[in-house]
Amino acid sequence: MGGGQLGRMSILAGRHMGFDFHVFEPKAGATAAKVADRAVHAPYSDLEAVRSFAKAVDAATVEFENVDRTAAEAVEEVGVLRPSSRVLSVCQHRRREKEFLRASGFPCAPFEVVEARAHLAAAIERIGRPCVVKTAAFGYDGKGQVKVTDPVEPDAVWTKLGAPEAVVVEAWIPFQAEVSVICSRGRDGEVVCFPMAENQHVNHILHASIVPARVPAKIAAEGAALATAIAERLDLVGVMGVELFWIDDRLLVNELAPRPHNSGHYTLDATATSQFEQHIRAVAGWPLGNTDLLRPAVMVNLLGDLWLSEHGPRAPDWSALLADPTLHLHLYDKGEPRPGRKMGHFTVLDPDPALALARAEAHFTSLALHPRLRTPRP
């Protein structure tokens, strides 16, 4: 369910294992549908279409967690959904996710839930500034959130967030690094984690993932233990990205994503089994694959800004990247490029992590991805 690049890469990873794939995606022309055996185009509110889709497959899964719960439950009425509608419900809603983490004893930033704009100012004062005010429902890539550093007019913040039903006021964490662990859990309860990634963001969108993360071994082990415990607590079946803040000698859980995760794209080239193959294995009830890191890696996102110039959209020249024998380029065939839209990524491998990072950033600079570096040539 879902037609984006995560679905596309999952399908391509499952092809060599002999699986057929159907895609349920409201809009025609989605990138996952282009590589599927069958595509169903209907809104998620069309529950009969959802049930028909579910009856036609042996197991259903998702490539994004914001599938409406009613649609997810409709799948479960007639078939199998992995991860379950309960897992999706927890992870697609910031309030439920934060409350799940706190109730389960998992470390996370202090937060309060506010259900009326009249109570927002008091909650901000209790949590303290700086803090982040987030819409309680949905949100990704920094969408639906406002950082508050000075006294503000609550009405302005509430309006900027689109007058939501509720918000989460969360303490600002002065982290040393943002890291993530991709874990997978099979139907038999086996949990396997991929090596921790260190993540760098620009404008709230993931720019690069560095693997192995430049953290103490104790922190890497703690991240894997946290991810494992969360997967078990959720009774997850599939792959999940666990985003974490590293602060001194501890980790705080930031967000959960019960599907393949952007920070796990490096696994396509750098681990024995990719996160996408692992997800298909778990959903199908197959044994999980080996997740050993074959070589240090740096993954860099390619956003739609790269395609845009004063003369209109154009494909970049990939010659310099492809001349590097250590670089692997992945393009998603998503059609129209837009600012901030993820159009692809590349991964650089090297036995020396510092050299991998240096080469990746050099290629990034040459493509003028970062607006602070230089503007794309016409």
CATH number at residue 62: 3.40.50.20
Mean pLDDT, the chain, as a whole number?
93
Q: Answer yes or no: do 130 and 62 share one domain.
A: no
Cα–Cα distance measured from residue 43 to residue 40, given in angstroms and rounded to the nearest whole number = 10
Q: What is the pLDDT of residue 244?
A: 98
**Does 376 reside within a domain?**
no
**Does 87 reside within a domain?**
no
**Does 373 reside within a domain?**
no
Q: Answer yes or no: do 310 and 344 share one domain.
A: yes
Q: What is the pLDDT of residue 138?
A: 66
Q: Which of 14, 12, 35 is nearest to 23 (CA)?
A: 35
Q: What is the pLDDT of residue 101?
A: 98
Q: Taking residues 274-294, what's their average pLDDT?
A: 98
When pLDDT is cut at 50, 70 and 90, the band that residue 342 belongs to is very high
Q: Answer yes or no: do 166 and 189 share one domain.
A: no
Q: Answer yes or no: do 43 and 188 share one domain.
A: no
Cα–Cα distance measured from residue 94 to residue 179, given in angstroms and rounded to the nearest whole number = 19
Domain count for the chain: 3
Q: What is the pLDDT of residue 298?
A: 98
Q: What is the pLDDT of residue 139?
A: 61
Q: What is the pLDDT of residue 198?
A: 98
Q: What is the pLDDT of residue 140?
A: 63
Query: pLDDT tens for residues 90-122?
Result: 999 999 999 999 999 999 999 999 999 899 999
Q: Answer yes or no: do 227 and 158 share one domain.
A: no
Query: pLDDT tens for residues 294-312?
Result: 999 999 999 999 998 766 6
**Does 98 reside within a domain?**
no
Q: Answer yes or no: do 193 and 298 share one domain.
A: yes
Query: pLDDT tens for residues 63-95?
Result: 999 899 999 999 999 999 999 999 999 999 999
With H, G, I as helix, E, B as strand and everything else as coil, classify residue 15: helix
| Domain harbouring 114, CATH code | 3.30.1490.20
Cα–Cα distance measured from residue 309 to residue 198, given in angstroms and rounded to the nearest whole number = 31
Percent pLDDT > 90 in the chain is 81
**Does 101 reside within a domain?**
no
When pLDDT is cut at 50, 70 and 90, the band that residue 48 belongs to is very high
Q: Taking residues 40-57, what's their average pLDDT?
A: 97
pLDDT at residue 371 above 50? no
Torsion sign across C-alpha atoms 203, 209, 215, 219 = positive
Range of the domain at 297: 177-366
**Does 315 reside within a domain?**
yes
| Distance between first and last Cα of the chain | 38
Q: What is the pLDDT of residue 144?
A: 83
Q: Taking residues 312-320, what's their average pLDDT?
A: 85
Q: Answer yes or no: do 351 and 240 share one domain.
A: yes
Q: Answer yes or no: do 144 and 193 share one domain.
A: no
Q: Answer yes or no: do 35 and 135 share one domain.
A: no
- Single residue among 140, 171, 202 that ends a domain in this structure: 171
- Single residue among 171, 195, 213 that ends a domain in this structure: 171
With H, G, I as helix, E, B as strand and everything else as coil, classify residue 253: strand
| Contact in structure between 267 and 275 (CB atoms under 8 Å) | yes
Q: Which long-range contacts (CB under 8 A, 24 or more apart) does 282-286 make?
A: 282/82, 282/184, 282/185, 282/186, 282/187, 282/237, 282/238, 282/239, 283/59, 283/61, 283/82, 283/237, 283/238, 284/17, 284/19, 284/58, 284/59, 285/59, 285/186, 285/187, 286/17, 286/186
Q: What is the pLDDT of residue 376?
A: 34
Q: What is the pLDDT of residue 145?
A: 87
**Does 103 reside within a domain?**
no
DSSP classification of residue 60: B
Q: Answer yes or no: do 183 and 160 share one domain.
A: no
Cα–Cα distance measured from residue 198 to residue 208, given in angstroms and rounded to the nearest whole number = 8
Q: Answer yes or no: do 191 and 126 share one domain.
A: no
**Does 88 reside within a domain?**
no
Cα–Cα distance measured from residue 178 to residue 135, given in angstroms and rounded to the nearest whole number = 21
Query: pLDDT tens for residues 204-243?
Result: 899 999 999 999 999 999 999 999 999 999 999 999 999 9
With H, G, I as helix, E, B as strand and everything else as coil, classify residue 41: coil
Q: Answer yes or no: do 224 and 206 share one domain.
A: yes
